[in-house]
């Protein structure tokens, strides 16, 4: 008998959500056959069986699971997953009055709005997430009364970029619903439900603004040589090369000289990275994503261009793998829409810097900005980094 265990999918989450079983319980599967979809705070990941045989579910869709937890077995038709009987018994005998499981962010909103246990139970879901509570509040909000709190969307700057996510308790835990009270009324204007990606954006921005003491510095660069170089290389390597590809390569080349710019901040120390894993923001109409180009300093421009092309294709449908969206230690944010002359990105939690790339607005001149964690990097070092980047980009021939 082979156990199907949940792999460690990223460093930010302690629990994942079993979204859907792709193969019914008791069905035969192949070794490489995807059998279940597990969702993290950034993406959905299909897990393969890992061995041929008969699949036996150990948990149901909608259950939370931890890394290395056994969620199924593959073996003989009469094999049963360890603990399945106990889980089923516990599920059958769980007291209905205990209420559904509630994530910590959902409970915080329940408390804020003063929702009752009965109101939340009417949602009819086994696991209550913040989006469920927002939907419930919208249903009960009197249209004639003023809004008690601004919409999350009101706090989303236009240049924010992040990956998709599901509602996650920050400490990885959940608890049974309790408490009571009334509904706090919301406004009478048109309500627009935020997408899953937008909700992930809002959570990431809030965490960044709470925890990262960021500073900002912009340097004017002449991008004329870089644009000429991009056109020449596009013809040469037969891959689309633009400012994104050139800045990824130039930033990655500075990793050895400026290691703190690629470090993970801590309370009393910084954890240095052995390579430059560069995240690049993409928004092609289906949400904002930050796929990662791993060990970018070791890649040729052709390899960087090919990787970004694959990421752009994935961004059109949102079909990213978890591995595509995690592990960045430096982020390049793209603001190449016409008329954008200055952009101030937020610093992604767990990273030290975010570089804002804009297109030229005065001939071939553009203002390229760096947002940085002031705990690790001071203004002088930021100026030295941007000076070195300017020399590299303007020196392209």
Per-residue pLDDT tens for 18-56? 888 989 999 999 988 889 988 876 666 889 998 999 999
pLDDT for the residue numbered 283: 82
pLDDT for the residue numbered 184: 44
Q: How, if at all, do strands 28-29 and 53-57 pair?
A: antiparallel
Average confidence (pLDDT) over 296-315 = 93
Average confidence (pLDDT) over 309-336 = 88
Average confidence (pLDDT) over 334-363 = 91
pLDDT for the residue numbered 347: 95
- The alpha-carbon radius of gyration of the chain (Å, integer) is 24
**Architecture of the 213-394 domain:** 2-Layer Sandwich (3.30)
pLDDT for the residue numbered 104: 55
Question: What are the percentages of helix, strand and coil residues in the chain, rounded to 5?
Answer: 30, 20, 45
Share of the chain above pLDDT 90, in %: 42
290 has a pLDDT exceeding 70: yes
Domain ranges of the chain: 2-93, 102-203, 213-394
345 has a pLDDT exceeding 60: yes
100 has a pLDDT exceeding 80: no
370 has a pLDDT exceeding 90: yes
Share of the chain above pLDDT 70, in %: 74
pTM: 0.58
CA distance 17 to 354: 30
281 has a pLDDT exceeding 80: yes
Q: Could you tell me the pLDDT band of residue 151, with boundaries at 50, 70 and 90? A: very low
Q: DSSP assignment of 119-147, as one string?
A: HHHTT--SEE-HHHHHHHHHHH--TTSPP
Nearest of 212, 345, 373 to residue 283 by alpha carbon: 345
Q: Could you tell me the pLDDT band of residue 57, with boundaries at 50, 70 and 90? A: very high
pLDDT for the residue numbered 84: 44
Average confidence (pLDDT) over 131-158 = 45
Ordered strands of the 101-103 beta sheet: 127-128, 101-103, 174-176
pLDDT for the residue numbered 154: 25
Query: What are phi and psi for residue 260, nearest 5 degrees?
Result: -65, -25
113 has a pLDDT exceeding 70: no
pLDDT for the residue numbered 12: 66
Equal fold, 2-93 vs 213-394: no
**Architecture of the 2-93 domain:** Beta Barrel (2.40)
């Amino acid at each position: 008998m082979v156990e199907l265990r949940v792999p460690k999918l990223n460093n930010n989450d302690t629990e994942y959500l079993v979204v859907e079983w792709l193969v019914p319980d008791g069905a035969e599967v192949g070794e490489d056959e995807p059998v279940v979809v597990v969702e993290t705070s950034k993406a959905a990941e299909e897990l393969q069986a890992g061995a041929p045989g008969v699949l036996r579910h150990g948990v149901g869709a909608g259950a939370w699971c931890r890394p290395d937890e056994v969620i199924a077995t593959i073996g003989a038709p009469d094999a049963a997953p360890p603990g399945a009987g106990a889980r089923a018994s516990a599920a059958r005998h769980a007291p209905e009055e205990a209420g559904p499981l509630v994530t910590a962010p959902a409970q915080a909103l329940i408390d804020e709005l003063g929702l009752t246990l009965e109101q939340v139970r009417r949602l009819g879901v086994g696991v209550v997430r913040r989006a469920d509570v927002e939907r419930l509040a919208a249903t009960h909000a009197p249209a004639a009364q003023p809004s008690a709190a601004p919409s999350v969307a009101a706090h989303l700057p236009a240049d924010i970029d992040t990956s998709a996510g599901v509602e996650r308790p920050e400490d990885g835990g959940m608890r049974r619903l309790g408490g009571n009270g009334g509904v706090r009324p919301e406004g009478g204007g048109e309500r627009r439900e935020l997408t899953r990606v937008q909700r992930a954006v809002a959570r990431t921005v809030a965490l960044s603004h709470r925890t990262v003491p960021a500073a900002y510095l912009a340097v004017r660069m002449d991008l004329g040589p870089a644009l000429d170089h991009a056109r020449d290389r596009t013809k040469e390597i037969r891959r689309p090369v633009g400012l994104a590809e050139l800045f990824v390569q130039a930033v990655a080349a500075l990793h050895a000289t400026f290691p703190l710019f690629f470090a993970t901040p801590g309370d009393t120390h910084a954890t240095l990275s052995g390579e430059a894993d560069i995240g690049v923001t993409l928004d092609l109409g289906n949400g904002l994503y930050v796929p990662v180009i791993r060990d970018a300093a070791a890649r040729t421009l052709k390899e960087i261009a090919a990787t970004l092309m694959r990421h752009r294709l994935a961004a059109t449908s949102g079909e990213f793998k978890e591995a595509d969206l995690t592990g960045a230690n430096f982020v390049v944010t793209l603001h190449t829409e016409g008329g954008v002359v200055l952009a101030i990105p937020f610093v992604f939690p767990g990273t030290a810097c975010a570089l804002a790339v804009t297109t030229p607005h005065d001939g071939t001149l553009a203002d390229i900005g760096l947002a940085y964690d002031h705990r690790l990097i001071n203004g002088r070092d930021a100026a030295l980094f941007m000076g070195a980047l300017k020399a590299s980009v303007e020196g392209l021939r």
